[in-house]
Amino acid sequence: MSNTKILFIGDIVGRFGRKTVKHFLLDENNKEKYDFIIANAENASHGFGLTKKNHDELLSYGINCLTSGNHIWDKKDILSYIEESDALIRPYNYHKTLKGVGYRIFDNKIIVINLLGKTFMPPIDCPFVALENIFSELKNKCNPDDKIIFVDFHAEATAEKQCFAKYASSLGVSAVIGTHTHVQSADERIIDSRCAYLTDAGFVGSLNSVIGMEYDASLKRLMTSVNERFEVETSPPYILNGCEVEFDNNRAISINRISFVYNNCEDEESED
């Protein structure tokens, strides 16, 4: 297996998040630089959830796998198509009766896993045990030792993410990239000379926002402790956060954060 370069795009927020992804991947032909592209899309449809239309839109830009998190169920039509998609995954450690899958094997070469953290998050099965269970399942399907195993760990607490990544590396995981906070961290590294790690990849959306949402509603909610309807901030400029990881066989050999700011990514034909 020759070196493989994977792009991971942080949480995409709303229409202008999607348009920023399009601008980066298509308008600048960046998708040609990568062998495989993963993006977290749980906030891609008006900031909460993912519609079938927006699912198809993102895949049309060259994205190979869409990961998610605790907002994956926010658009109810997800239940009508999640099992039809061959690219979308939801966190594995949701209850086994829920629709969808928590990992996928692509081209018998790359395994993408989605897991939720427990700390400061909704009640969920233990992600450490869930990862053990996934490896047990994989051994009945393939030889995971010769695959790139890439985990989107959707979690809040840095300590949980760091500890999980170290444990995941001991099992043979090739990369653990955190999502959920929408704030890109500056701690990328290679654990045990094999597993790429970044606490949080960041997000894609309006730079002048509160993790993608309008300032006024966020301010009111934080000052009054009264729930306020969040709306996606749409004003420019727009930022795209993520990281690129290069692998030699199934071992990560480099990880680099990416962050691009664009003044305009308007597309009049796109709707939420």
Task: State the Cα–Cα distance between residues 134 and 128, nearest whole angstrom.
Answer: 10
Predicted pLDDT at 272? 53
pLDDT tens, residue order, the chain (272 aa): 489 999 999 999 999 999 999 999 998 889 999 999 999 999 999 999 999 999 999 999 999 999 999 999 999 999 999 999 999 999 999 999 999 999 999 999 999 999 999 999 999 999 999 999 999 999 999 999 999 999 999 999 999 999 999 999 999 999 999 999 999 999 999 999 999 999 999 999 999 999 999 999 999 999 999 988 899 999 999 999 999 999 999 999 999 999 999 998 765 444 55
Name the domain count of the chain: 1
**CA separation, residue 270 to residues 20, 135, 264 (Å):** 12, 40, 14
Per the domain annotation, does 156 fall within a domain?
yes
Q: What is the CATH number of the domain that holds 201?
A: 3.60.21.10
Given the DSSP bridges, would you call strands 110-116 and 103-106 parallel, antiparallel or unpaired?
antiparallel
Per the domain annotation, does 208 fall within a domain?
yes
Per the domain annotation, does 163 fall within a domain?
yes
Per the domain annotation, does 223 fall within a domain?
yes
List residues with catalytic annotation.
Answer: 71
Per the domain annotation, does 103 fall within a domain?
yes
Predicted pLDDT at 130? 98
Per the domain annotation, does 50 fall within a domain?
yes
Amino acid code (one letter) for 56: D
Q: Which domain holds residue 211?
A: 4-262
Per the domain annotation, does 231 fall within a domain?
yes
Per the domain annotation, does 271 fall within a domain?
no
- Strand-pairing partners, residue 100, are none
Amino acid code (one letter) for 115: L
Predicted pLDDT at 266? 64
> Is pTM, for the whole model, over 0.75?
yes
Task: State the Cα–Cα distance between residues 25 and 14, nearest whole angstrom.
Answer: 17
